[in-house]
Amino acid sequence: MPNAWSVAAGIINPVTGRWMTKSWNIDTLLPEATRTYSEIENTFKVQVYYRLPVRRYCQNDEDIKRCGRRQRNPRYANVLGGYADAGAGPDAILDTHGSFEILLAGYVDLPLLIQTLHKHFQQTGTWIDQRFDHAQLKADGNHWHYGAMSASRVIFCEGTAIKENPWFNKLPLTPAKGETLILRSETLHLPPSIYHSTKWLLPYQPQRFRIGATYDEADLDPAPTEAGKAELLQAATQILSEDHHLKVEAHMAGLRPSTSDARPLLGEHPISKGLFVLNGLGSKGASVGPEMSRQLFEHIFNNEALDPEVDIQRFESLA
């Protein structure tokens, strides 16, 4: 994953920050994500998953009304906290229309998660750190051969590089670039929470804050841009109630592997048997990835049917 960390929130679109209905399948996805990260934490004695509510700031009167409607809807009872009047939150955040809490949220320390798993796979001799060349993958009976390796199944988890995959490149992936910043400030102090006011702001480490993210479907160069940095810095000044000196310590960019129907891509190639794909995690890999991995595992090893909503059989383009 290209991003340093990731939010697993309930009812805010982490990309646009706009109100939306409760996230697709979140009541199934979050328990599996929580279970997976806990298991990794227990196995490797690290902390990678931080449960933190999101404090979402209303931008106008319509937002306040929408919040009230959601609070009266029992479907939202497990994800929505109470409304707090303007000024009830930390002074450092500009609060003109009040705020409310989104429960069942958190963030994943992706760098630590990836480092931990890399180390484990290196130690167990199951990790080869090199570019995969699709042209070298050859079928032979029920097996696929790649150099000296042979396997009955190959699972491609390539993100937006799927466009270079000759078997799966017809799947409708619609990448969306995003940028984030790590900021340092000696004067900004915020209690632990994820603050969301058009963009999210996360107190991250002592004197450090993360802000994100931009959204761009036109520029598909994964490099960070000056325009992205300027947009995020401007958002930071708009979120905060006072001026703070904000030093940019890191500027990251990546491509979200989004799909045309906003559902993941899971399953076996209809013709080239033994080749599988796990992709299309969009802007929610941290919450969606664990359940998709579980489903694909159960499908392959225990013959469990895939959820038709994520099964690539919904597209005829591969047959």
Ligand X SMILES: Cc1cc2nc3c(=O)[nH]c(=O)nc-3n(C[C@H](O)[C@H](O)[C@H](O)COP(=O)(O)OP(=O)(O)OC[C@H]3O[C@@H](n4cnc5c(N)ncnc54)[C@H](O)[C@@H]3O)c2cc1C
AA letter at 75 = R
Please, which of residues 129-158 interact with ligand X by CB under 6 A?
Answer: 131-132, 157-158
Does 14 sit near ligand X (CB under 6 A)? yes
The residues facing 240 across adjacent strands are 93
* Closest to ligand X by CB, 98 or 306: 306
User: Among the candidate windows 67-75, 76-84, 136-144, 251-259, which touches ligand X by CB under 6 A?
Assistant: 251-259
Please, which of residues 167-186 interact with ligand X by CB under 6 A?
Answer: 178-180
Q: Return the DSSP state at 23.
A: P
CA-CA distance, 232 to 26, in Å (whole number)? 28
User: Among the candidate windows 22-30, 76-84, 282-290, 307-315, which touches ligand X by CB under 6 A?
Assistant: 282-290
Give the closest residue to 65 by CA, choosing from 98, 22, 32.
98
Q: What is the CA radius of gyration of the chain?
A: 21
Does 53 sit near ligand X (CB under 6 A)? no
Of the residues 10, 98, 203, 285, which one makes contact with ligand X according to CB under 6 A: 285
Residue 223 Cβ, how far from ligand X at the closest point, in Å? 12
Q: Is 43 helix (H, G, I), strand (E, B) or coil?
A: helix
Of the residues 112, 161, 233, 248, which one makes contact with ligand X according to CB under 6 A: 161
Residue 139 Cβ, how far from ligand X at the closest point, in Å? 18
Does 26 sit near ligand X (CB under 6 A)? no
Instruction: Enumerate residues 6+ apart whose C-beta is below 8 A from 76.
Output: 11, 22, 70
**Beta-carbon count within 10 A of 184 CB:** 17
The residues facing 182 across adjacent strands are 210, 250
Number of H helices, E strands in the chain: 5, 17
Structure tokens at 129: 């750190």
Residue 192 Cβ, how far from ligand X at the closest point, in Å? 17
Residue 51 Cβ, how far from ligand X at the closest point, in Å? 15
Of the residues 12, 30, 182, 281, which one makes contact with ligand X according to CB under 6 A: 281
Give the closest residue to 3 by CA, choosing from 248, 236, 214, 163.
214
Please, which of residues 215-244 interact with ligand X by CB under 6 A?
Answer: none
Does 212 sit near ligand X (CB under 6 A)? yes
Instruction: Enumerate residues 6+ apart whose C-beta is below 8 A from 109.
Output: 5, 47, 48, 49, 50
* Closest to ligand X by CB, 197 or 283: 283
Site residues, ligand X (CB under 6 A) = 1-3, 6-7, 14, 131-132, 157-159, 161, 178-180, 212-213, 254, 256-257, 279, 281-287
